[in-house]
Chains A and B, each alone.
Chain A
Amino acid sequence: DTAVSQTPKYLVTQMGNDKSIKCEQNLGHDTMYWYKQDSKKFLKIMFSYNNKELIINETVPNRFSPKSPDKAHLNLHINSLELGDSAVYFCASSQAPGRDYEQYFGPGTRLTVT
């Protein structure tokens, strides 16, 4: 069974479109995260939810909006896509927030904006 899954795996779209990436975890974790990995492989956290409550909201354009319908899901919606949004987006989850809890990562969604 896949612990953290993301759909779609690949997403190719045009500038100005709106798209969503879905994430689901079956680990029973309370905390979920979204990370962005750029073309130079640099990873940076974007958002985190704990028990459906937003606890990390980094400096991210407000075109990006996370939504957590329940503890097992954290979706990322992106409005008015731009070329610079092209990246790999990783979802992760942990048992709880905090440095002592291992984060489990999904396989990533490669977003290409043309």
Chain B
Amino acid sequence: AQSVTQLDSHVSVSEGTPVLLRCNYSSSYSPSLFWYVQHPNKGLQLLLKYTSAATLVKGINGFEAEFKKSETSFHLTKPSAHMSDAAEYFCVVSGSGNTGKLIFGQGTTLQVKP
């Protein structure tokens, strides 16, 4: 069965400092992995996705993530946080089959301090 664990429920950084949001996954096959962002009272927006191509994936707004099969990790990073990055971030793994089922992690709240 597929599952995803976000290692931090809450991360706080200062504006201009790096961001690291950690995610480990479990999958019985080669998965597709995603990071979604949810701003307060908004829907979800795709930041980036890994689908078995390059292991370093670049997304929108300066975010990137690296797929590490040996560590079963897909951590999200950004070199310099901006106040507008404050939001809820979800690491997501694709479900089995070809139905489009997504399995979400518990979410990480990113706080950015001025």
Interface residues of A (CB under 8 A from B): 4, 31, 33, 40-45, 48, 55-56, 90, 92, 94, 96-108
Assuming the A-B contacts A4-B43, A94-B100, A97-B100, are A42 and B107 also in contact, with contact meaning beta carbons closer than 8 angstroms in the complex? yes
Q: How many chain B residues touch A (Cβ–Cβ < 8 Å)?
A: 23
* Chain B 19-58 interface mask (CB, 8 Å, partner A; 1/0): 0000000000001100010100111111001010000000
Interface residues of B (CB under 8 A from A): 31-32, 36, 38, 41-46, 49, 51, 88, 90, 94, 98-102, 104, 106-107
**In the complex, which of the residues B41, B45, B94 contacts A99, with contact meaning CB atoms closer than 8 Å?**
B94
Q: Which residue of B has the minimal Cβ distance to A97?
A: B100
**In the complex, which of the residues A45, A97, A104, A108 contacts B98, with contact meaning CB atoms closer than 8 Å?**
A97
Contact (Cβ within 8 A) A105 B99: no
Given the complex of chains A and B, what is the CA–CA distance between A86 and B38 in angstroms? Answer: 19
Contacts of A101 in B (CB 8 A): 100
Contacts of A100 in B (CB 8 A): 32, 51
Contact (Cβ within 8 A) B104 A97: no
What are 15 pairs between A and B in contact, CB < 8 Å?
A43-B44, A45-B101, A55-B99, A55-B100, A90-B44, A92-B44, A94-B100, A96-B100, A97-B98, A97-B99, A97-B100, A99-B98, A103-B46, A107-B42, A108-B42
